[in-house]
Amino acid sequence: MLSFAAGAAIVSLVLTVSVFTISRGYLLGQRERSAQRLADADADFVASRLAVPGMTPAAALSAVDPPADTILLLDWRGGWTSSDPAVPARAPSEHLAESPREGAPTRPTTIRNQPYLVTAMPLDGGTLYEFAPIVELRDTLRVLRTVLVISGLAATLGGALLGLWASGRVLRPLRSLAGTAASIAGGNLDSRLPEQGDRDLRPILSSFNTMVDSLQRRIERERRFVGDVTHELRTPLTTLVTSVGLLGKHAEEMPERPRTALRLVEGELAHLRGMVEDLLTLARTEAGLHHDDEAPVSTRDLLAHVLGERAAPVLDADGDGRVRGHKLALIRAFTNLVDNAEQHGGGVTGVELSTSADSVVVAVDDAGPGVPEGERERIFERFATGRAARGSTSGNGLGLALVAEAVRANGGTVECVTAPGGGARFVVRLPRDHGEGDGAVAASAAEPQT
């Protein structure tokens, strides 16, 4: 838009200056030629009158019938005579900055604050100076200048509006492309660009949609592969767990080294079993398969249930923080957040529940060192443990991935920021169910609310 406006302003300026200059030169040239013709005729007439015996210069000038406001100044045999009593009869040099030369073209001057063109015509024994008024020409040029300036401003404004319209028309598909790309980046792989009538944009849109289709198929294949492999591992893993459990019943009868090895195997099997269960849960959530139907859910009750089994802050709420979603998925998300704070963040220091006009916000703070900004998005990916930031080597890197997917499946978002008192704060935002209003509640490990 700015380029259109700047271009229109430059074109308008060039046209305005050009038109005014050409018009001024043309009109002034016409007026000069007219003044010269009139001065030549008046000079002939005055010369003929002065040739009459006994004719005085004043009588000769009074016999001339010039146009209104025209002033005649006669230099005759060393004496000066003026046709206008208000104009002193004296040399033109006293009226002009520079006296015009006889026979020279007319030149502009000012008398009594009014513009004139003065022409010097030679006579036998003197010179006739004729001052022709150009007030009308001056006013005409002023009107022309005003019209041109207004037209230039209007053209500039029109160029800006045209640029706004054109840029909006050109950038609209690009904005749609950016919005769709952002939606896909946010996990909505079903987003596609609508078809456009523009022939130049149609191949780009088609290529983009084809690329997204290919990406979606690839991700779905990977999800199915992970789900299938995890499901296939579940049966032999259950058999292994059962077998090791039976061996564990006789662990006291074993020598020290086999008993130690058995305990290590039990720990690793428990870790592997948890990871397989998390992968299955993640695969079901990504596929939109839930164990319960979507229904109104009290966030306050879910948090109270999750915190009730832990030495975590007591939650006291003035309202429900009601949302519409899958209860079991939300319980799993809040449980993982609290477990993450206890296992990797030095414990939960505060849990806050607040509501706005359109959302319910849950914040979980911990006492850990926090998460560097460069890792705050990566920790929600699969198998991302954030060990450098949290100083922990435990966990399988799926807990926060499950949180992100469960929250996304319920129409919300989750992010990691810095808590007011230091440490990490995990913030979950869910769409509010307007079936019931609520307020804001907070829980703090140091000072629980009552």
Residue 382 confidence (pLDDT) above 60: yes
Percent of residues, the chain, with pLDDT higher than 90: 9
State how far the Cα of 210 lies from the Cα of 397, in Å rounded to an integer: 32
Average the pLDDT over each of 43-47, 349-353, 395-399, 434-438 and give the range with the smallest value: 434-438
For residue 206, the model assigns a pLDDT of 83
State how far the Cα of 241 lies from the Cα of 346, in Å rounded to an integer: 31
If 0-12 CB within 10 Å is exposed, 13-18 middle and 19+ buried, where does residue 113 land? exposed
Q: Is 419 in contact with 345 (CB distance < 8 Å)?
A: no
For residue 285, the model assigns a pLDDT of 67
State how far the Cα of 171 lies from the Cα of 22, in Å rounded to an integer: 41
Of all helices (H) and strands (E), which one includes residue 109? strand 107-111
Residue 195 confidence (pLDDT) above 80: no
State how far the Cα of 380 lies from the Cα of 340, in Å rounded to an integer: 12
pLDDT of 270-328, one tens digit each? 777 777 777 777 666 666 666 677 889 888 888 888 888 776 666 656 567 889 888 88
Residue 143 confidence (pLDDT) above 90: yes
Computed over every residue of the chain, the mean pLDDT equals 79
Enumerate the β-bridge partners of residue 360.
355, 430
Residue 88 confidence (pLDDT) above 80: no
Residue 392 confidence (pLDDT) above 60: no
Average pLDDT of 51-74?
Answer: 88
Confidence of residue 145 (pLDDT cuts 50, 70, 90): very high
State how far the Cα of 375 lies from the Cα of 2, in Å rounded to an integer: 39
Q: How far apart are the first and last CA of the chain?
A: 58
Average pLDDT of 227-244?
Answer: 76
Confidence of residue 388 (pLDDT cuts 50, 70, 90): very low
Residue 118 three-state SS: strand
Confidence of residue 344 (pLDDT cuts 50, 70, 90): confident
CATH topology of domain 202-286: Helix Hairpins (1.10.287)
Residue 444 confidence (pLDDT) above 50: no
pLDDT of 397-443, one tens digit each? 788 888 888 888 888 999 999 998 888 999 999 998 876 444 444 44
Domain residue limits, the chain: 2-140, 202-286, 295-444
Q: What is the CATH number of domain 2-140?
A: 3.30.450.20
State how far the Cα of 322 lies from the Cα of 343, in Å rounded to an integer: 29
Residue 225 confidence (pLDDT) above 80: no
Average the pLDDT over each of 125-134, 328-337, 376-385 and give the range with the smallest value: 376-385
Residue 151 confidence (pLDDT) above 50: yes
DSSP string covering 309-371, please? TTTSPPP--SS--EEEE-HHHHHHHHHHHHHHHHHHSSSEEEEEEEE-SSEEEEEEEESS---
Percent of residues, the chain, with pLDDT higher than 70: 82
Residue 349 confidence (pLDDT) above 70: yes
Average the pLDDT over each of 144-153, 167-176, 336-345, 397-406 and give the range with the smallest value: 167-176
Question: Which CATH class for the 295-444 domain?
Answer: alpha beta
Structure tokens at 181: 């790309």
For residue 446, the model assigns a pLDDT of 38
pTM: 0.49
Q: Is 99 in contact with 89 (CB distance < 8 Å)?
A: no
For residue 345, the model assigns a pLDDT of 86
Q: How far is CA 370 from CA 155, 338, 375, 428, 446, in A?
A: 58, 15, 10, 17, 19
Where is pLDDT greater, at 128 or 173? Answer: 128
For residue 319, the model assigns a pLDDT of 64
pLDDT of 169-193, one tens digit each? 777 777 777 887 787 776 677 778 7
Residue 449 confidence (pLDDT) above 50: no
Nearest to 131 by CA among 79, 103, 95: 95
Where is pLDDT greater, at 215 or 219? Answer: 215
Nearest to 121 by CA among 110, 133, 129: 129
